[in-house]
Amino acid sequence: MATLVIESTRSGFVESLHTVSVAVVSAEGTRVAYAGDPERVTFWRSAAKPFQSLPMVQDGAADRYGFGPRELALSCASHSSEPVHRALAMQMLSASGCEERHLACGPHPPLSPAVAEEALKAGVVLTPRWNNCSGKHAGMLALARHHGWDVHGYASDGHPVQERIQEEIAKWTGLPSDALVKAVDGCLAVCFGLPLSAMATAWARFGVSEAPAARRLREAMLAHPELVAGRGRACTDLMTAFGGEAVVKIGAEGVYCAALPRARLGVAVKVEDGDARCAAPALLGVLRLLAEAQGLSLPMTGLEHHAEPRILNTRNEAVGSLRAAGTLAFV
């Protein structure tokens, strides 16, 4: 069995290992490569956001409320709470006649350390618009308004918004709706558990689909990677560097997914111990192995700090790094 790990080094010594499971699947649903357990069931978390946003576009809510590429990109985002992210989330809420108080997601410190430090120094009282999922929730509220559904409880299991999303996720993954494991995400919306292979299948299909809603969301993410994450964040930097060759989205607990449209492939990665630091090096390690094996054009220049992030001491000095090691098994 192929093994892929993230090595955590200190002064050149491998201090710990983080095992990674990987599924690489074609748009036709054929397994192409794997490592670890490609059928590992885990929660999709934020790597599901494009699929959670599809009903908003398909059902006409996005057009009704004037959501263009920037709003669509933010609906797929785990954003850094930069001013542009917060302002755009509020504009989306206003367009559908909602207010910040309607957001089910609670506040949390910004995912960007720089933005978090700025907010702390300024004594900012964080509110739900600061949540990295506020764009996704604004999209869910727009879907509820569009259909005339009660906005109360829109994020909860059993609400028509979540039932509509579950229907869409079943369609793209190819799984029966009742096969999806359901739980409560950190932002209070429903999150779905499913095999890595099903995640990779959905992302492969998303990368090549000519369905108008999927194409609009994909193109929005590629056109505005700065809204999908933020300054210095992996999703933003990877999509900028790859120039349309890959659409990527991180999830919590060590999940990362990607679509490679030209290669017609989808990738799903799970760092088994959930270490979020390891997710970007794991995905980049997989993409490097795929590029070498299949001759893909994926420029890695400028992504070294994501492929092998430094480990710092309390004086901000580099004492080690995280790096991918191992292989993929090609089918």
147-179 pLDDT, tens digit each: 999 999 999 999 999 999 999 999 999 999 999
**8 A C-beta contact, residue 273 and residue 19:** yes
pLDDT under 70: residue ranges of the chain:
none
Q: At 92, which helix (H) or strand (E)?
A: helix 83-95
Domain ranges in the chain are 4-330
CATH 3.40.50 fits 4-330, yes or no: no
> Rounded CA gap, 148 and 153, in Å?
14
Distances (CA, A) of 275 to 271, 289, 316: 7, 21, 21
Tokens of 221: 């993410």
DSSP-derived secondary structure letter, 28: T
CA 120 to chain centre: 26
Tell me the angle at which helices 196-208 and 212-223 cross, rounded to the nearest 10 degrees. 90
The whole-number pLDDT of residue 193 equals 98
The whole-number pLDDT of residue 297 equals 85
Q: Is the pTM of this model over 0.75?
A: yes
CA-wise closest residue to 280 among 247, 254, 311, 242: 254
**8 A C-beta contact, residue 141 and residue 101:** no
Helix (H, G, I), strand (E, B) or coil at 251: strand
